[in-house]
Structure 1
């Protein structure tokens, strides 16, 4: 058994950034790599990155040679590439997994894009492990609620086809549990979807500490809340065990993160779990303890790395070197408490 590799996500430089009112400009891939490479705690550095396959970091239609140059750039910092995020959303390559035939076809096209880029990175040697991350690409839950059962079945059908494509390319898909994605917005709805797809060898769950905390609260599905405001520590961990016991067997990708119980958004990416600094005094999670619930048996599920997610951090926070040292220190504590992969 080997120790879990420590990765940093590149998409905090992109998600919630842009030219819409109230948004900050994106941070380039080069800058995100430099910030990650500069972090060091007692001689330990980040081992790699997880990577978002869309502009401005990546043109999903880039040539093989252009993608190899990106791989060279990442490797020049001593990094491996782990999990990739397929460009599945409307406005990228893809479209809604519960949309019409055209939309669902675009969703599957985005999976093919992800698999193509993964193959190039794998052959280059910069990528040796990790999954391709997806979601339903349907923002919000109101449309889903119009016919919940039928819409979940539609998403499941799309995911089955996506999983077949991934399997044919030697890849696995991980569906992100987050309250903003229709059909995936509560722990129970996420579990129902995973079970309806029923392809655990090819499609699993991507757990994020910040997002799954809001699963406990039932933010977008009060009927599935496992704790109520004012909960005690005993109530919290009993509920946390209930949730992780259900979703952990499906978990093949894991994000370390912190959450203060608030919902946050920017631009079109709205009502998502608010990621907080690792040492945020308002953070609701004991990051190390909560991580262990998800990482039990990680090796058996093929998990070889863990990734920090600081989605929608302000640029000033992302560009502060101390931010990354604090994050890396927390990641090391998670890895050491868990032991080996």
Structure 2
């Protein structure tokens, strides 16, 4: 067993919400249930260190009071967990690429999220983490004016960066093929470069979502692997090196995940990378190995850039998500990642 104790191992709470709660989807899973499943997971005496939160009802109301924030901190701490990154609910009646009203609503979500995140840090339950955002714009709408829309998103991201920076926080944009201006690795880099706040606004890599960047999903012109590609190891390796060498310098938050190479959506969530459980035999990723593309530099040295890493697995069935073994298996995969690419302090 490795003696590495960094990065800390977190579990995402938003899989209990994302893709659920609509008339054609399963019910949401309460935060208390997600916390219990996380706290009860254990592998050879090792447990999860913390959780990452979605600041959206019914888990966490974005307009939560200060007393509510304190109660949330106490609840999570009582389960032996810390809090890491938080997801700003920027998608609802808002867009980083919209008109003034939509952009104002987008920034308001960031402003409220920053207040919650910084207060949790003041309370001593959040030692590290970022505030996650997306453009909240469709690829189709972005494609009507790529240059102008990227500039507009960058302008909004800069404003978000100023809000976060004032409270000692950072913003991370997740690479996911369903968000306009962020739907390919080159578009993502262009957006971050135009935002031009590298110390404040960076990239969140999700192993599952970013894998689709290599396939050119929604941006065929930026496909890295050849058309006749059948997941040959040497081709996969070169594609991942190209991808991560380009995006790693911007990466400030990392999600461990599994993907079967297909896309999926449920409820009101648009189609994007399909998360799989850690043990899915159809998974295209070797989780323990392939995390290293992000957690080690081009010379193979551990970067220590992320103080915590988080498992992300959205749109699993409630039957799968409420089985304790699911989370034990996920924790086992996370431990392997830390054994292979972590460090000790």
TM-score (norm 2): 0.95
Counterpart check, 1:17 vs 2:20: yes
Offset, 1:267: 2.1
Offset, 1:231: 4.2
Q: Deviations over 1:148-181 (max 9, x none)?
A: 1110110001001100110011000000000000
Offset, 1:2: 5.5
Q: Quick check: 2:118–2:169 contact (8 Å CA) kept in 1?
A: no
Q: Deviations over 1:290-331 (max 9, x none)?
A: 100101259867410000001111111100111011100000
Partner of 1:334 in structure 2? 337
Residue of structure 2 aligned with 1:204, choices 194, 202, 205? 202
Q: Quick check: 2:263–2:272 contact (8 Å CA) kept in 1?
A: yes
Partner of 1:160 in structure 2? 158
Offset, 1:67: 1.4
Q: Deviations over 1:234-271 (max 9, x none)?
A: 11110110000000000000000000011010122111
Q: Quick check: 2:84–2:128 contact (8 Å CA) kept in 1?
A: yes
Alignment of 1:189-338 (within 5 A): 189-227=187-225, 228=227, 229-296=229-296, 302-338=305-341
Partner of 1:174 in structure 2? 172
Q: Quick check: 2:295–2:304 contact (8 Å CA) kept in 1?
A: no
Task: Report the secondary structure of 1:254's partner residue.
Answer: strand
Gaps of 5+ in 2: none
Alignment of 1:11-50 (within 5 A): 11-21=14-24, 23-50=25-52
What is the Cα-based RMSD across aligned positions, in Å?
1.4
Gaps of 5+ in 1: none
Offset, 1:44: 0.1
Instruction: Could you list the structure 1 runs, at least 4 aligned residues long, displaced by more than 4 angstroms after superposition.
Output: 297-302
Q: Deviations over 1:102-160 (max 9, x none)?
A: 1111111111111110122112111110000001011x311110111110110001001
Query: In 2, distance between residues paired with 1:234 and 1:210?
Result: 19
Query: In 2, distance between residues paired with 1:53 and 1:330?
Result: 26
Query: In 2, distance between residues paired with 1:99 and 1:306?
Result: 32
Alignment of 1:39-188 (within 5 A): 39-91=41-93, 95-138=94-137, 140-188=138-186
Task: Report the secondary structure of 1:234's partner residue.
Answer: helix
262-271 or 240-249, larger mean C-alpha shift = 262-271
Offset, 1:289: 1.5
> Matched residue pairs, number?
336
TM-score (norm 1): 0.96
Query: In 1, distance between residues paired with 2:158 and 2:249?
Result: 18
